[in-house]
Amino acid sequence: MEYKVFDRTKPIGEFTAQPDDDLIICRCEEITKGEIRKAVYDGMYTINEIKRYLRAGMGLCQGLTCGRNVKDIVARELGISPAELEEATPRPPARPVTAKVYADCRGEED
Amino acid sequence: MSSKEVRKSDIIIIGSGAVGNAAAYFLSSAGRSVTVLEKDTVGNGSSVRNGGQNKMNTRGEPELSLGMYGVTEIWPRLQKELDVDIEFRKTGGYRNALTDDEMENMQKFWPIAKKYGMHIEYMDGTELRKRVPQFSERIAGAAHCEEDTWSNPLKTTLGLYSKARALGAKYYDHEKAVSIETVKGRAKRVVTECGHIYEADKICITACFGSRALLNSVSLDVPFTHALCEIFVTEPVPRILDEIFIGSKGGYYGTQTIHGSIVMGGGSRIGAFQREGNHVEFTLTPDNVPSGIKGLTDLFPSLENIKIVRSWSGWHDRTPDDMCCIEAIDEIPGLYAACGFSGHGFGISAPVGKVLSELMLEQPLGADISKLKFNRFMPIDAFTGDDRKR
């Protein structure tokens, strides 16, 4: 799959408010649709950038819940298919793991 | 763009990390036309994979002037001027020692710190735990440095990009610079992997590890090696401390962010020997991350049940003396570089970007960078075996 490469020098127009902009999309971090749409106009064109700029997808679920919705919103603003947007870089662990358990995987004897 | 077309601007910056974006922001603010070339996507390297700290208490003396310029002027200025909250805070920081020897060793820094106007206070373990009860009983003492700071690396890097772009800087993604060309001895053109040509009177390299190959294209070299470093983030927990913290021997460093999560990292020391190209930088390494997390549970025994939500790693561009290189290159007028940050560059990224802009605008410099030229790395004197100094 070839991901879309954006020319960041081309203007994409101005942000205009929408009636459902206060809808919460990322539930862990309480990030709204409006915040995500606005970030695109601030120049955040990739899912990694949206995540790092807003924290959408950085909470306990690590984007498992909202990832798709975020992608759809960004794609719509950029006028492309969501399939053309690369996923945020996956960061292990897939689900939260307790520090004690992790620390023990070193296999050191007490 | 057709292959014959040449894109012209006043200044070309190669690499859109925190340093490159800061330089782009200051130069655009001064009315210069700036082009930023990025081999990947904006700010996707070490600028967004670090712990956000400015550990003044562990810097080498040649970097302290830059550090103080950042703490007193440039970071507070960005906090005000950017459109996002970069969460800059003068947190202060603890450097923790496990033995009296380590404590004694840390105290050697005091006269140097004083010379640069830094404030360091030494305390024993009892006093430290009075202030932060969660710290392990095994810590024998600590040095508290008032000038240690923190800023959010993600918001800083992207906030600078967003602001520079709004001021007219042109950003090109997936545009990997491969060589620099000179005209009559002056830096003039940048050629990219797909054959595009960019032209400017001033070219600035801020490409982390990629800087070396670019410098090589004009027969210059700066020695550095890859070193892998790991970092992880926990779920948010109630406030433990505001200060950043670091082990006296550099095994760990960390912060509890405003958000409440603990960001902690460290070097495995075997990182320099990892193979290149096996994508370890994007995945959990089998040994190193658990080792860092053991550091967390050793440091804060009461947090053994805290949840780890994310971990990642990345490469340092580590120089022989662990200090960065920043300069207007004498041999090639019009060429500027800042690289070799050796794993502690983010904390000085804003002042480095500012000083680069001052160099390019031919303004007086806000910090002394005279000891950070990369020609400081000289072969030893073969006869005596001693280091040679310029």
Please tell me the least confidently modeled range out of B31-40, B83-92, B217-226, B311-320. Answer: B311-320
Instruction: Spell out, as residue ranges, where chain A has pLDDT lower than 70.
Output: 1-2, 4-5, 105-110
Residue B279 is predicted with a pLDDT of 46
Q: Which residue has the tokens 């358990």?
A: A101
Q: Are the CB atoms for B15 and B47 separated by under 8 Å?
A: no
Question: What is B91-147+225-318's CATH number, 3.40.50.150, 2.60.120.10, 3.90.209.20, 3.30.9.10?
Answer: 3.30.9.10
Residues from chain B that touch A11, judged by Cβ atoms under 8 A, are none
Q: How far apart (Å, rounded) are the C-alpha atoms in residues B246 and B248?
A: 6
Position B304 scores a pLDDT of 93
pLDDT level of residue B374 (50, 70, 90 thresholds): confident
Q: Which helix (H) or strand (E) holds A53?
A: helix A47-54
Mutate to test the interface with B, among A49, A51, A58 (most CBs of B within 10 A): A49
Q: Contacts of residue B306 in chain A, CB cutoff 8 Å?
A: 98-99
- Chain B: nearest CA to A34, how far in angstroms? 16
Residue B315 dihedral angles phi and psi, to the nearest 5°: -95, 140
Decide which of B256 and A91 is more confident: B256
A73 contacts: CB under 8 Å, gap ≥ 6: A25, A33, A36, A37
Q: Do B155 and A6 touch (CB under 8 A)?
A: no
Angle, helix A47-54 to helix B153-166, in steps of 10 degrees: 110
* Chain A residues with CB-CB distance to B235 below 8 A: 60, 96
Tell me the H-state helices in B221-319.
288-299
Where does the pLDDT of residue B335 fall: very low under 50, low under 70, confident under 90, or very high at 90 and above?
very high
Q: Of the candidates B277, B48, B49, B37, which has an alpha carbon nearest to the alpha carbon of residue B174?
A: B37
| Chain A nearest-CA residue for B47 | A52
Say what the pLDDT of residue B354 is: 98
Q: What does the pLDDT read at residue A56?
A: 95
Mean pLDDT value of segment B19-48: 96
Determine the pLDDT at residue B312: 85
Q: Where are the domains of chain B?
A: 6-48+154-224+321-376, 91-147+225-318
Q: How much is the pLDDT for A110? A: 47
Residue A41: what pLDDT?
Answer: 96
Helices B349-360 and B153-166 sit at what angle, rounded to 10 degrees? Answer: 30
Min CA distance, A87 vs chain B (Å)?
A: 13
Looking at residue B125, what is its pLDDT?
A: 97
Distances (CA, A) of A81 to A67, A76, B63: 15, 7, 47
Q: Which pLDDT score, from 0 to 100, does residue B269 have?
A: 62
pLDDT tens per residue across span B107-166:
999 999 999 999 999 999 999 999 999 999 999 999 999 999 999 999 999 999 999 999
- Given a cut of 50, whether residue B73 has pLDDT beyond it is yes
Task: Kindly determine whether residue A55 and residue B259, on different chains, have CB atoms separated by under 8 Å.
Answer: yes
- Mutation pick from A6, A45, A84, A91 vs chain B, by most beta carbons of B within 10 Å, is A91
SS3 (DSSP) at B305: coil
Contacts of A9 in chain B (CB under 8 A): 170-172
**Apex B232 CA angle, A46 and B120, nearest 5:** 115
> Could B284 and A93 be called an inter-chain contact, meaning their C-beta atoms sit closer than 8 Å?
yes
CA distance B264 to B249: 15
What is the phi/psi pair of residue B350, to 5°? -65, -50
- Cα gap B101→A81, rounded to integer Å: 61
Interface subset of B 167-196, CB within 8 angstroms of A: 170-174
**Shortest CA gap A18–chain B (Å):** 22
pLDDT class for B77, splitting at 50, 70, 90? very high
Instruction: Tell if the CB–CB gap between B155 and A52 is shorter than 8 Å.
Output: yes
pLDDT bin (cut points 50, 70, 90) of residue B224 is: confident
- For residues B353-373, average pLDDT: 97
Chain A nearest C-alpha distance from B106 (Å): 28
- Determine the residue of chain B that is closest to A51 in CA distance: B154
The domain made up of B6-48+154-224+321-376 has a fold known as FAD/NAD(P)-binding domain (3.50.50)
Angle of helix B18-29 versus helix B153-166 axis, rounded to 10: 30
- CA–chain centroid gap for B184, Å, is 34
What contacts B150, CB < 8 A, 6 or more positions away?
B52, B53, B54, B87, B88, B89, B91, B244, B255, B257
CA distances from A5 to A77, B34, B227, B287 (A): 15, 21, 30, 36
As a whole number of angstroms, the distance between CA A86 and CA A80 comes to 12
Which pLDDT belongs to residue B270? 61
From CA B348, how far away is CA B358, in angstroms rounded?
15
Q: How confident is the model at residue B1 (pLDDT cuts 50, 70, 90)?
A: low
Q: Which positions 280-309 of B are in contact with A (Cβ < 8 Å)?
A: 282-284, 287, 289-291, 293-294, 296-297, 303-309
Question: What pLDDT was estimated at residue B276?
Answer: 57
Number of inter-chain CB pairs under 8 A, A vs B: 111
The verdict on a CB contact (< 8 Å) between B290 and A106 is yes
Distance of CA B127 to the CA centre of its chain: 32
Q: Are B288 and B271 in contact (CB under 8 A)?
A: yes
Instruction: Choose among B217, B228, B241, B215: nearest CA to B317.
Output: B228
Inter-chain touch A97–B308, beta carbons under 8 Å: yes
Break chain A into its structural domains and give their ranges.
Answer: 24-87+94-104
Second CATH level (architecture) for the domain A24-87+94-104 = Orthogonal Bundle (1.10)
Whether B30 contacts chain A with CB within 8 A: no
Q: Which residue has the higher pLDDT, B269 or B300?
A: B300
Q: What is the ipTM of this complex?
A: 0.93
Instruction: Tell the residue number behind the tokens 């292959």, with chain if given.
Output: B3
Spatial contact of B115 and B15, defined as CB atoms under 8 Å apart = no
Task: Give the pLDDT of residue B281.
Answer: 47
CA dihedral (B52, B98, B314, B373) in degrees, to 10, reads: 70
pLDDT surpasses 80 at B91? yes
Task: Quote the pLDDT of residue B287.
Answer: 57
| Chain B, window 80-99: residues with a beta carbon less than 8 angstroms from a chain A beta carbon | 83-84
Summarised one tens digit per residue, pLDDT across range B195-217 is 999 999 999 999 998 999 999 99
What pLDDT is attached to residue B3? 56
Residue of A26, A32, A105 lying closest to B294 (CA atoms): A105
Q: How far apart are CA B25 and CA B158, in angstroms?
A: 11
Check pLDDT > 80 for residue B344.
Answer: yes
